[in-house]
Structures are given as C-alpha cells and as structure tokens.
A and B are shown apart, each in its own frame.
Chain A
Amino acid sequence: MRYALLVLESPAAGTSSQAALRFARAAVARGHQVARVFFYGDGVASGNSNSCPPQDETDHVAAWRDFALAGGTELVVCIAAALRRGVLDAGEAERYERAAANLDPAFVLSGLGQLAEAALDADRLVTFGG
C-alpha cells in the first residue's frame, strides 16, 4: 500500500510525531511505501535542526532524517506554517532577512498543494496529532 502521513504536533508537545515515525518504519518494514510525510501546523518543528535535545533523549529531527535517508520518503514541511514558526531554509532566511536558516536538509519547504496531492494520490493518508 502507498501511504502518506500528516503530522500536526511538535515532538516536544506530544507523541504524534514520534508515533508517525514508528508507523512509517513499521509500514516500510512490511513492504509498504511511505511516499510523503507532510508536516503542518506545529508539526513543522520536526524539521527544526536547531533543536538540541539532551544526550539521553531521542533526537527527533535526526530520527526523521535517518528514516528519509533510507530512501523513498519525502519529508515536506508546509512553508506557510514554517514561516509562522520560524523554521526557514536558506532561501526564506534570505528573503525575510532573518539571521539563520534552521530547516534540516533532509526536509523540504513546499506548499499545501503537496498535502492535497497526497490526500488524492496515496492509498491512505494517516493524520497524527489531529
């Protein structure tokens, strides 16, 4: 099956981002495809490479990055939601004249159309933190 996931909650505020990642790993382990994970609302914090969790806690950004690097999954962060919350790539940091870009390179900024497309194309779109 071809899945897409929607993540709406920050890893620091709840368990949805972590649950989404475990779901994604389990789906891939069973031979399914996770085509896209769309981070919306507070979920955009999952791509903030400036988060510095204590060493004995899970680094959620790194965990998503490792999952994406294993192949086959796009990590898409909603650009409007990200701008509102200060998660910027180099292009947006320059455009808005902000000091730093902090979007992890494993993630891309894009529009809500990517979510609509996922809702229409994937066999299942599963929401976490809704």
Chain B
Amino acid sequence: MRNLLLLLRASPYRGSRAREGLDAALLFSAFSDNLRVLFSGDGAWQLQAGQSPAAIDAKSIAAQVAAFELYGIDTAGVDAAALDARGIDAATLPAGIVVLDDAGIADWLAWADQVVTVG
C-alpha cells in the first residue's frame, strides 16, 4: 500500500477549498490505512479553536476535523512555523494533531509516495 500525504493549505472560510480538502481527507481514509494529513500555511487556521463562522453565515468546518479520529485518521499534523506566524497556541489544537518542526515535515514528505495538495 502506498503512503499518501494530503496537504491542506487553505484558510477555512474562503470559498469551499478547505471544506473540500477535509472531505477528501475523510474519503481517502476509506481507501488507505497509510494516510497522513498535514495542515500548513493558512491551513493552520482550520485548527483554530473557538471559531464562530455563523457570524459570517458560514458553516463550521470543526466537525470535519473532529471526525478524523472516527474515520481512523490517527496521523495528522500541523507546521509549527505556520502556528507561530499566526499566533495560534499549540495547546488549543484539536486532540490528536501533532506539531511538526521543519525536520518533522521533511520526514513526512520523505515518507510519502504521493503528496496531494487538495485543500
């Protein structure tokens, strides 16, 4: 089985990209046990705690992130630099999200047979 890395880089409520990236992550989990999901760049905002998207008439993406565990995605991570640049406190991340430094990200990219940038 090939190792798949999904890269999610979109901010959560600008268009549908973040939601569709998360849809892809949940769907891919049914096809592969060797799946990792990496949030980077503005994708880090998808993990921000305490979002109130109803204020801009948007539907929360938090339920999709929270569903990772249910779908068997036990390897999801976020770029530490992306958190730092945006002032997101790692202590507030959803359960199960690991924080990766540059070396950790390099490891994940090296692990992957296929990287798909979808969100």
Contact = CB atoms under 8 A, between A and B. Distances in A.
Contact-residue bracket for chain B:
20 to 34
B20 A120 contact: no
Interface of B: 1-2, 4, 7, 9, 15-17, 20, 23-24, 27-28, 30-32, 114, 116-118
A54 interface: no
Interface stretch (A28-36, A45-53, A108-116): A108-116
A115 B24 contact: yes
B24 A120 contact: no
B116 A6 contact: yes
Given A8-B118, A112-B24, A127-B116, A117 B16 contact: no
A84 B16 contact: yes
Interface residues of A, number: 20
Interface of A: 6, 8, 40-42, 80-81, 84, 111-113, 115-117, 119-120, 124-125, 127, 130
Contacts of B7: 130
Give the one of A41, A111, A113 with max B CB within 10 A.
A41
Contact of A116 (B16, B31, B117): B31
A6 B17 CA distance: 14
Given A119-B4, A125-B116, A127-B117, A40 B31 contact: no
Given A40-B20, A80-B20, 18 more contacts: A6-B116, A41-B20, A81-B16, A112-B23, A112-B24, A112-B28, A113-B27, A115-B116, A115-B118, A116-B32, A119-B28, A120-B114, A124-B114, A127-B117, A127-B118, A130-B7, A130-B9, A130-B117
A125 B4 CA distance: 11
Given A41-B16, A130-B117, A120 B27 contact: no
Give the 9 A-B CB pairs with smallest separation, nearest first: A130-B117, A116-B31, A112-B27, A127-B117, A116-B28, A119-B114, A41-B20, A119-B116, A120-B2
Contacts of A117: 31
A100 to B, nearest CB: 22
Contacts of B1: 120
Nearest to A117: B31
Contacts of B28: 112, 116, 119
A42 B4 contact: no
B20 A113 contact: no
